[in-house]
Every structure is written in C-alpha cells, then in structure tokens.
C-alpha cells in the first residue's frame, strides 16, 4: 500500500486535525514505515496456529460483590468546600453568550 498526500489529507480530515507540509511529510513517512512493518508480519507462515483469543488461560477473574456500609449525607458533605446542606455547591461553568 502506498501512502500518498491524498491519504494523509483524508486521515487528517477524519481526525479533525490540521498539519503543515513538513508535518504531513513526517506523518507520511511514519505511516509508510508502519505499513511496511505489518507487511513484514504477513511473511510469517501461520498455518496450523490457532487464533489467540485471550492472553491467559484465566477466565472471569473477578472479585465477588460484597455489601458494605456507606456514609451518611452529613458525613459526605462534612469536608465539602461549599454545600447547601443537601448538595455540593460548585462554581458555574456554563456561560450564556448572546
């Protein structure tokens, strides 16, 4: 696969990025090197090798759910910098323009 300027432009557009001409040249070279690496992997004979589905033989290594106590609302709000007694108070972050 050949990496050309149109491919780099298309990838930049899809990623919503803008690059200078020098950056496009670097990206083009990097992409060509990555494709060459993957092509090198295609040279391996993988007949008879089953696909790897999981990295280990472990299956569903999860902890059991345990019911634990929780803190009260008063304890949760105790160290809050601002509260109205029921909720945390935080600074307004959305501004209306217009």
Residue 45 has pLDDT above 70, yes or no: yes
Residue 30 within any structural domain of the chain:
yes
Please report whether residue 47 resides in a domain: no
Could you give the 3-state DSSP secondary structure of residue 88? Answer: strand
Residue 73 has pLDDT above 80, yes or no: yes
Compute the average pLDDT of residues 60-79.
87
Q: Which domain holds residue 22?
A: 5-41
DSSP state of 28: H
Q: Is 21 within the bounds of a domain?
A: yes
- The rounded radius of gyration (Å) of the Cα atoms in the chain is 27
Burial of 7 (C-beta count, 10 Å sphere; 0-12/13-18/19+): middle
The first and second tokens of residue 39, run together, are 């092509």
* pLDDT attached to residue 11: 93
Q: What is the mean pLDDT of residues 69-73?
A: 89
Q: Which CATH number goes with the domain that contains 28?
A: 1.10.20.60
82, two tokens? 């601002």
Q: How many domains does the chain have?
A: 1
**Domain-embedded: residue 66:** no
Span 15-33, pLDDT tens digits:
999 999 999 999 999 999 9
Would 97 be classed as within a structural domain? no
Q: Give the predicted TM-score (pTM) of the model.
A: 0.48
Residue 27 covered by a domain: yes
């Amino acid at each position: 696969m050949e990496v050309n300027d149109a491919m780099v432009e298309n990838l930049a557009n899809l990623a919503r990025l803008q690059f200078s001409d020098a950056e496009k040249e670097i990206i083009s070279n990097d992409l060509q090197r990555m494709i060459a690496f993957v092509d090198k992997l295609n040279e391996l004979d993988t007949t008879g090798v089953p696909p790897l589905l999981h990295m280990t033989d472990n299956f569903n290594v999860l902890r059991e759910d345990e019911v634990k106590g929780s803190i009260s609302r008063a304890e949760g709000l105790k160290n809050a910098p601002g509260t109205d007694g029921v909720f945390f108070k935080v600074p307004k972050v959305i501004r209306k323009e217009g």
